[in-house]
Structures are given as structure tokens and as C-alpha cells.
Amino acid sequence: MFENILLGFSTAFTATNLLYCFLGVFLGTFIGVLPGLGSLAAISMLLPLTFYLEPTTALIMLGGIYYGGEYGGSIASILLNLPGTPSAAVTCLDGNPMAKQGRAGVALFITAIASFVGGSVGIIALMAFGPAIAKVGLSFGPSDYFALMLLGLVATVTVGGQVRKGLIMVILGLLLGTVGTDVTSGDFRYTFGFLELRDGVSLVGMAMGLFGIAEVINSIKGSNERKVTEKITARSMMPTKEDMKKIIAPMARGSSIGGFLGALPGAGTVIAAFLAYAMEVRVAKDKTRFGNGAIEGVAAPESANNAAAQTAFIPTLTIGIPGSATMSIMLGALMIHGITPGPLLITDHPTIFWGLIASFWIGNVFLLVLNIPLIGMWVRVLQFPYKYIYPVVIALICIGVFSMRTSVFDVCLVVIFGALGYLLQRAGYQAAPLILGFVLGPMLEENLRRAMLMARGDVFQLIADPLTGSILALSAMMLIWAFACGLKSLLNKRKIKILPEGEA
Amino acid sequence: MNVISLRFTIATILAVIGITAFIIGLQYDFGSSQRMGPGYFPLVLSGALTVLAVWEAFSVLFNPSSDEQPSLDWRPFAAILTAVLGFAFAISFFGLIPAFIVVIGLSSLSEHKYGLKPALILAFFVSLGAWLLFAKLLGITLSLFKFGF
Amino acid sequence: MKTSIWKKLSSTIAAVTIGGLAVINAGMAIADEYPSKPVTLVVGFPPGGSTDVVARILAKSMTKTLGQPVLVENRAGAGGTVGIGHVASSAPDGYTLGVSGVGASILLNALGRETGYNIDTDLDVIGVMGTLGLVIAGRNGLEPKTLQELIKFAKNNPGKLTYGSSGIGTPGHLAMEYLKSVAGVDLLHIPYKGNTPLMNDVLGGHVDIALLTTPGTAEQVRAGGVHPFAVTSPERSSLMPQVPTAIEGGFDGYTATLWNLLVTPEGTPSDIQMKLSKALNSAMQDEEVLASYKKKGLAPTIKTPAEATQFLESERAKWKKVISEAGVQKK
């Protein structure tokens, strides 16, 4: 074990590898900041660059691009409410309100710290229990995945406070998720004859419309009166001692949730951030702070997201099953170098495996070192008059969405979802549950249908499975709790004067 | 449009989406509980959406809590959406640079007194930056200018 | 990653350079010395996938032969048909090539799917980019160990065994349906979205058997995660020489292979077609290509455009027969 780690660091600590690791983190952050382009886009764009490198160096660079992209996405989410991925949508919930309160620097700082902590926890889990966790992941069958997805959705619904509106958004998201080719039958659903819709609605087009466009329209009015004269000092960017104290427990909880879920192929990374956020809301004494710039609401999902990003490598590297689209590309990069990833990768290519793990940690250090000095620069973006920012944001959204699939159709989707998103936002609905419903919906349906096929239609067989049953019971409990709380607050509302509902 | 009627309108729109999806979903095979067809989920979901949206609409009607009055800002709404649509149109027929000029120009209509000069300067810099970034750095060779298709 | 996008009808449309310095008729410029600029190779799947990897290996070698870079452009969507549809509507000037797999070339069409193009009338076939066999594999702990035993077991336990496929209408699904009808057994089909989640569930023991792609499965077999019954290629796989073919297992004529065709838009001048064919076939003899093909269990193929078209015909006849005999529902 120890000598393996040593081997890893000796592989990673060559000048070339360090250089490419740094380059990857830098480029990844840079691309991730652009609206609509996340770590997936960053990796697919820069993948061809790595074909000319040694396999270990190539993977180290791709790893760097990956976290850089993830962190860059958080920057865009916090500053401008522009999430490129579902997990970044969680960061928006409290990160953007913090920025609006003039605490953007603190939010970015916390994000960097939480990412680092989460990443480090994930790496330790990866080193210590990689193969063991992978086996647990394999034992998750279709019914367990279904239960897990359901838990994720229930957690999201119960987060917002307004259960009915949350439920409406999740269901709308699930319904949008059914657009495209049905996996189980191969039929087309709601494609209206568009070839582009056969693979479903473009997530990026949808997220950019719902969040980005809606946000811009919302912010234009009164933006000229907005005061941006606040002085940026080094102190204003640093979290206070109280802030730091507040985030220790959330980071620990977030990292453990993320670290575990990340190892489950497909499901983990998406719901990790949502569940971590839901957990914080549950634990918190004063739930009203969430959605209004609660620092725990940034720290927990960010650490969960990054811990999951690390442990997502477990199934990829230990059994050759990529957990996400990004991981598939990483596997593809290995294949191009003539290495077929599989369960024997660790024994056959120990330098690659351990070198990669060591470089993950180095990459996380780079991320911290690179980004803390840059926070000041990012925050200054907000100091520009909004007048000059929003046309650029709109233009970047357009080109970003367009270049994902070179598709004009996707740009048109931005228009539709922009209109819908703005109207929904004004009427007090949140877009984040919709995004989660959309992402989890197809997996939820696929796994339920697969589970029912395997159980030959016997629902009781499904529930009788110990793992499935207990996850389902947990979801049921959360839902009942949320409805009970909702009822209680409704009764309170009737008694006291009606309180203004928080804006979305 | 005040809050109540906005909330009511949105709930109605959602209900209409639900009903439409339900009607279309009826064409898909519903299947059985063992072999759920492609229509199973769409019908359940669109049904649930409709019920919840109608519930929401009624609760807005009978439970008017009109504290805030956020109105819709039609001008930026129209300008921004037209700008994105203009981008889609321009990039299909005229290339990247005209598309940027269109998107910046149209977004600047969001405000009364934006001025032509800042819009032009912004369009120039954005086009230049995007060209450097996408064409030079990331190696995506999009046509900068073109005619027709 | 993405190169010049709209070249539709460009033979009639003048290309205007940024400064407006030169207006060249695209059709004239190529005739002289093809290729005079980078060539785009469109792949209908995302980067890093198995089709993409094959395309990149060949593009590297073809770049050497053609003297101009061959750039891979990923236009993923709808089982590869989005990319091929784009090639079909591009200018037939030899600068837009496509990689068309079994699904995009035959299966989707044979299953009655609208693809937006017709491979016979909208595309010219230049050559075959190698073939890849599949493996009939089972989860660990399954009682039967050979293909014969498996069939016997399935006959004795009708409807008990489940088989997974990487999707409706994929070669893996159709070939298993064919096996079902040939052997007269009843297996429950569980479709997945791609090879990865399918492999996951075979490894986890949630699904009994599946038709999996060779390179990944060979690794799992080596580690003892899955049990191979037979390969579906005409010959044994270089990655798993110990595993018999389905033909050896008693199913005469039972083959299912994956392949990719190199295609150009219909009407590409024949001299350009010949140049491309030569470049592709010399890539098939390139040491570097052969080495990476061997690692991936791919069999190299050398075919002229006419032979490749014939290959397409015979494969189409075979799969159509499979679809009709297995009684797979058309959409």
C-alpha cells in the first residue's frame, strides 16, 4: 500500500507530468467558466491534444481538465447563476445569493476549500478501499438504482420548502426526460419528427435557458441602479472565523455522502450534490437561511461533488465500467493508447493507476493554488456595469450551446426554455428540481422497467430486496416528514399573518 | 399582470402541458406492470403534472397571498429571446461574426438608452475574443463568414 | 473537434475568404490535386467511444498517405445517423467522409426507422474499416459452461434465463433473437443503454447472458468476472483464442460482426474515391494500425469500393434474414 503510493508520487512528480497537470487544471477552469461549457465539454474538446502524450501524462492532464472544468462551472454558477451541470445547479442555490449580497469572494473561497477537502477525502477512499467499493457498486442491481434515484428526487422535492411547487418541477423534469428514444422499447416519444430530439432534449440548452437566460432577463431591470462601488480587499474575500467554523461539519458530511455515491456508476455524481444539500437543510436549525446565501449550502454540495468526482474513478479504473460520460471519454483515452481498462489494470499497469491517483491529489493542490489568487479577478467581473456583461453572457451562452453539438436546434431550445424559465421564476418556481428530474428521470424509468422485467412483474419481490426496500423506506420517510412539516407551516401560516414567500 | 394572475397563468400553462402530454402519451403502448410500455411513464407523469397544476391554480384562486407584485419585464424578455433566435438564424446563414453582431445588437435593445456605440464596441470585442478562443485556441473551425447554407 | 460545418451545396456556392481576397469555385479547385486542404472524417458517436477510436487510428495513418490532415469530427446522435445524415448532405468533393456502422448502414433502416438518408442513393462506399466480433458471455456462477450446455439449460428452464443487449435493434439484440429462434429457446430480453451498463449488470450477476464487445470482455474474462461461451466472428478472436466460435459450437453459419464503412457523399469523383480507397487500404497494412487493431481484437479488411459495396449488400441480406426469421418487430 505505502510503496504503491510512493510509486504513484514518483510517477506523478516528473517535470512533464506536473506541467501537464497544471496546464490541464488551468485550461479546464478556463473552459468551465464559459457558460454552457462544463468539464465534459472541456474534456471532449481537449482530448485530441492528449493523443500525442504518454498514456500516464495524457490521463493526468485529462484529470486536471476534469476538476478544472468542475471548479470553473462553480465560478460561473456563483457569479452569474449559470450552471452547466446538475450539480452546479445546486451550487447556484446559495452561491448566487451570496454573490448578490457582495460575498462572491467568500463563496468562491469556500468553494475552493470545500472542493479541496472533498477531493482529498475522495482520493483517500479511492486509495484505501477502491476495489472494495467497486464490488459494492456492482452489487447494486436495477431495483436498487431505481430506489436510489427516487431517494434523490424526494430529497430535492423536500428541500425547497414549497413541496407542491417542487413536486411540479420535478415531475415536469421527469416528463421532459421521457423525450427521445425509449431505451426499453426503442420507440420515439415526444420527438415531433425532429431528428435532434431522438437523443432527448439537450441538457445544456435547457439549463442555459432555465437559469442563464431567465437570470439575465431578471437582472436587466434595475441593474443600472445596482451599486458596485464596494471595495474589494483581501479581507472581504476571506471567510471569517465564524464562516470557517460553520463549514467544517457540512464539508465532512458532504464528503462522505459524495465519496460513497460517486462509486456507483451512473447515479452517484448527479445526486451527490443534491443529497448533500438536502442533508444540510434537514440538519440546520434555521431552514429559512437556505436559498438566501447560506454558507453551508455552498460548502456541502461542493465537497460532495468533488469527493464524488474522485470516487467516480473507482468503477472506471478498478472494473473498467465508466460511471459517467466524462469517465467514458477518459476510458477512450486509455484505449487510444492501447490500454484496455478492466479489472486487471491495477496489476498490469501499476504506474498508470498509482501515478494517476497521486496526480489527482497534485491536481487538487494546483486547483487550490491557482484559484485562490484568481478569486479577486473573478469577483472584479461583477464590478463591471451589468450593461456590458449581459450581452456578452448571452453571446457566450449561444456559442457555447451551439458548439456542443454544432446544432442550431439546441440554440432554439434555449429560447423556449429561456421563456419558460423566466415565467416560472417570476411565479416562484425553482429550476433546480426540474434539472434533477430531467437527469434522473430516464435512469429512474429505465431501471424500474428493467427491475420489473427481472422480477417478472412482482412488486413484492422488488420491495423484499433488503437494499431496495430500505432505500425506498428512507424516501417514504422523507416524503412524509416533508408533508408533515408543510402541513405544520400551513397551519402556522393560517394563524399568523401570511408571510411573503421568498423569491426563487 | 399582477402576481395572482401570473401564478394562475403559469399553473394553467403547466396544466395545458400536462394535458397535451397525456393526450400524446395515449398513443404509446401502456404495457403491463411486468412489461411497462413506453407509454407507462409519460401517462403517469403527465397525469400527475395535470393534477398538481390544477391544484396549484385553485389554491392561487382561493388563497390569494398578494404581498409582492413582481411584474414581467416584457422589453428585456422580448429582446433577449429575439437575440438568441437571431443568433440561431444568423449562424445558420451568415457565419459566426454576423451572428455575434446580431446577438449583441439585439440584446442591447433590452434597455431604452443603450446606445449604438457601446453595442458596436462590445460586438467587435466579443467577436474578436470568440474567434480567438474557439477558432484559434480550441480548434473549432466555424465559418466566420458565409452566404447561404 | 469540429470543422467547417455547412458545405451543403458548396459546389454551387462560392466560398468567400475573410478579406474577400479570393473567390474560388470549390468544385474546380479540388479537381487539380486532391487533397489540397484538411479532410474531415465524421464519426456519429462521441469522442472516446469504440467507433471514434477506430476512426482516429485510421485517420492518423491516412493523414500520412494523403499528405493532408484527416480530422475526426464527432457528430453524435440517433445511433450514428445524425453524423451520416450530415455526410449525405455534404458536398461530394472528398473533403467530408463518414464512418458508418452496422446500425447506421443497415439495421435502423431494416427495422423501419427513418434515418433521413438512403445509403444506396445518398452515399458512396469507399471501403471497410475492419471488423469486430462479439462474445456470447454469461455471469459467473451460471451452471452451463459451453454453448451447447447453455442451450440445453435454456430449453429445460424456458423463460428463466435473462439476456441483456446494448439496446433495441443493436447487433447484440438481433443476434441473440436469432439464436433464440435458431435454437428454439426462450430467453427474457433486458435492454440496456449501451455496452457499459450492460457489462456492469453481467459482472454484478443481475443479468444472465449477453452479447458483448470483444476487447472489454476479454479483459473481464482474463480477470474471471464473466464466462465466455462463444465468439460470433467467423474465426476465433486474437484476444481470446481459447474461446470457440459459435460455428464450432454447432451453429453453422451463425456469425455476427460489427464493422464500419468509410463513406462519402454520393457523386464523389471516381479519382478521389480511388485515392481515398488506396489511403484506407494502405492504412490496413500499416504496422502501427495492425498493432492497435490486434490489441482491440479488430480484424483488418482490404476491399475496393466495389467489393465494399458488395460486402454491404451481403451483410444487409444477412441481417434482413435475421430480422425476419427472429420475428423482431419493425417500427
Summarised one tens digit per residue, pLDDT across range B94-127 is: 888 888 888 888 888 888 777 778 888 888 888 8
Nearest in space to C64 (alpha carbons), one of C29, C100, C90, C39: C39
CB atoms within 10 A of CB B141: 18
State residue A161's pLDDT score.
Answer: 62
Buried b (16+ CB within 10 A) or exposed e, C19-46: eeeeeeebeeebeeebbeeebbbbbbbb
Contact of B21 with B48, CB cutoff 8 Å: no
Full residue range of the structural domain in which residue A373 is found: 2-493
Q: How many domains, in total, are found in chain A?
A: 1
Domain ranges of chain C: 15-132+258-326, 134-231
The pLDDT of residue B9 is above 70: yes
Is B85 in contact with A415 (CB distance < 8 Å)? Answer: yes
Q: Which chains touch C (3 or more CB pairs under 8 A)?
A: A, B
Q: How far apart are CA A348 and CA A470, in angstroms?
A: 38
- Cis-peptide into A433, omega within 30 deg: no
In angstroms, the CA A298 to CA A281 distance is 12
Tell me how many domains chain B contains: 2
Which site among A146, A188, A202, A335 would you substitute to test the C interface, given the most C Cβ atoms closer than 10 Å to its Cβ? Answer: A335
Q: Which residues pair with C136 in a beta bridge?
A: C211, C230
Identify from A196, A387, A430 which residue to disrupt to test chain B contact, counting B C-beta atoms within 10 A and taking the largest count. A387
Does C294 contact chain A (CB < 8 Å)?
A: no
Domain membership of residue A485 (yes or no) is yes
Q: Detail the DSSP E strand segments found in A166-290.
A: 180-181, 188-189
pLDDT at residue B20, as a whole number: 94
Read off the amino acid at residue B105: G
User: How are beta strands C39-43 and C70-74 bridged, if at all?
Assistant: parallel
Q: Which residue has the cell 456508476?
A: A265
What does the block give as the cell for B106? 439585439
Query: Using alpha carbons only, how large is chain A's radius of gyration in Å?
Result: 22
pLDDT at site B82: 93
Task: Search chain A and give the residue with CA nearest C85.
Answer: A195
| Residue of A47, A171, A405 to mutate when probing chain B, most B C-beta within 10 A | A171
With H, G, I as helix, E, B as strand and everything else as coil, classify residue B101: helix
Residue B114 lies in a domain: yes
Topology agreement, domain C15-132+258-326 and domain C134-231: yes
**A203 vs A442: CA distance, rounded Å:** 12
Angstroms from A148 CA to nearest CA on chain C: 16
Distance from CA of C146 to the nearest CA of A (A): 24
Convert the pLDDT of each residue in A363-407 to its tens digit: 888 888 888 888 888 877 777 777 888 888 888 888 888 877 778
Cα–Cα nearest to C168, from C149, C148, C143, C193: C193
A321 → chain C, closest CA residue: C196
Of A168, A189, A394, the CB nearest to B52: A168
Which residue from B7, B37, B107 is facing A427, i.e. has the nearest CB?
B7
Instruction: Tell me what pLDDT residue B13 has.
Output: 92
Q: Is B124 among the domain residues?
A: yes
The reply to whether B142 falls in a domain is no
Report which secondary-structure segment, H or E, holds C52: helix C50-66
Mean pLDDT by 10-residue block, N- to C-terminus, for chain A (504 residues)?
78 85 87 76 75 81 86 85 78 86 86 89 84 75 85 76 83 92 82 82 85 84 56 68 85 89 71 85 80 86 88 79 74 74 75 82 86 81 78 85 81 93 87 84 87 83 83 83 70 51 39
Q: For residues A162 and A185, what is the distance between their CA atoms, to the nearest angstrom?
A: 36
Nearest CA in chain B to A41: B138
End-to-end CA separation in angstroms for chain B? 42
Please give, rounded to a whole number of angstroms, the shortest distance from the CA of B149 to a CA of chain C.
6
Q: Cβ contact (<8 Å) for C9 and B149?
A: yes
Question: What's the pLDDT tens digit per position in B49-86?
Answer: 999 999 988 888 877 665 555 677 888 899 999 999 99
Q: Is C13 in contact with B139 (Cβ distance < 8 A)?
A: no
Residue C39 φ/ψ, nearest 5 degrees: -105, 140
Tell me which CATH code domain C15-132+258-326 carries.
3.40.190.150
A501 located within any domain: no
Of B138, B144, B147, the CB nearest to C18: B144
pLDDT at res. C273: 86
What pLDDT score does C6 carry? 34
Cβ atoms of C209 and C199 closer than 8 Å: no
**A175 to chain B, minimum CA–CA distance in Å?**
6
Residue B91 lies in a domain: yes
In A294-351 the beta strands, taken as DSSP E runs, fall at none
Q: How far is CA C326 from CA A354, C175, C254, C318, C319, in A?
A: 48, 9, 13, 12, 10
Asked if A397 lies within 8 A of B84 by C-beta distance, the reply is: yes
User: What H or E segment, with its residue span, contains residue C40?
Assistant: strand C39-43
- According to DSSP, the β-strands at C188-191 and C15-16 are unpaired
Q: Tell whether B83 lies on the interface with A, counting CB pairs under 8 A.
A: yes
Mutate to test the interface with C, among A135, A138, A407 (most CBs of C within 10 A): A138
Is B17's CB within 8 Å of A172's CB?
yes
**Which of A51, A141, A320 lies closest to C204 in CB terms?**
A141
Q: Terminus-to-terminus CA distance in chain C, angstroms?
A: 34
State how far residue A123 is from chain C, nearest Cα, in angstroms: 23
Contact A184 C215 (CB under 8 A): no
Cβ of C6 within 8 Å of Cβ of B145? The answer is no
- Residue C8, judged by CB atoms within 10 A of its CB (0-12, 13-18, 19+), counts as middle
| Cell numbers representing residue A184 in the block | 426499453
User: CA-CA distance, A251 to A253, in Å (whole number)?
Assistant: 5
Question: Closest Cα partner for C122 from C143, C153, C96, C157?
Answer: C96
Size of the A and B interface in Cβ pairs below 8 Å: 183
pLDDT (tens digit, 9 = 90+) per residue, B13-50? 999 999 999 999 998 888 887 788 888 899 999 999 99
**Angle at alpha carbon of residue C294, lines to C291 and C299, rounded to 5°:** 120
Nearest CA in chain C to A186: C168
B20: domain range? 3-62
In 10 A of CB C78, how many CB atoms? 26
Report CA-CA distances (Å) from A397 to A43, C115, C322, C331: 18, 30, 47, 37
Kindly indicate the confidence band of residue B140, based on its pLDDT and cuts at 50, 70 and 90.
low
Return the SS3 of A361: helix
Q: List the beta bridge partners of residue C228.
A: C137
In a domain, A102, yes or no: yes
Residue C69 is given by DSSP the state -
Q: Which of C57, C7, C58, C12 is nearest to C37 (CA)?
A: C7
Q: Does B128 touch chain C (CB under 8 A)?
A: no
- Residue A355: per-residue pLDDT: 81
Report yes or no on B149 lying in a domain.
Answer: no
Residue of A nearest to B127 (CA): A395
CA distance C114 to A192: 13
Stretches in chain C below the pLDDT threshold 50: 1-31
Q: ipTM score of the complex?
A: 0.89
Is B129 within a domain? yes
Note the CATH number of domain C134-231: 3.40.190.10
What pLDDT sits at residue B32? 82
Residue in A390, A419, A424 closest to B107 by CB: A390
Residue C130 near residue C301, CB atoms below 8 Å: yes
Sequence-distant (≥ 6) Cβ neighbours of residue C231 within 8 angstroms: C133, C134, C135, C136, C214, C237, C240, C243, C244, C245, C246
CA distance C251 to C179: 9
> Cα separation of B127 and A297, whole Å?
37
Residue C168 with chain A: CB contacts under 8 Å: 183-186
* A498 is a domain residue: no
Q: Burial level of B64, CB count in 10 A (0-12/13-18/19+)?
A: middle
Tell me the Cα Rg of chain B.
Answer: 23
C-beta contacts of A15-21 below 8 A and 24+ residues apart: A16/A54, A16/A57, A17/A56, A17/A57, A17/A60, A17/A355, A17/A359, A18/A362, A20/A53, A20/A57, A20/A60, A20/A61, A20/A64, A21/A60, A21/A61, A21/A63, A21/A64, A21/A359, A21/A362, A21/A363, A21/A366
Non-local CB neighbours of C122 within 8 Å, separated by 6+ positions = C88, C89, C265, C266
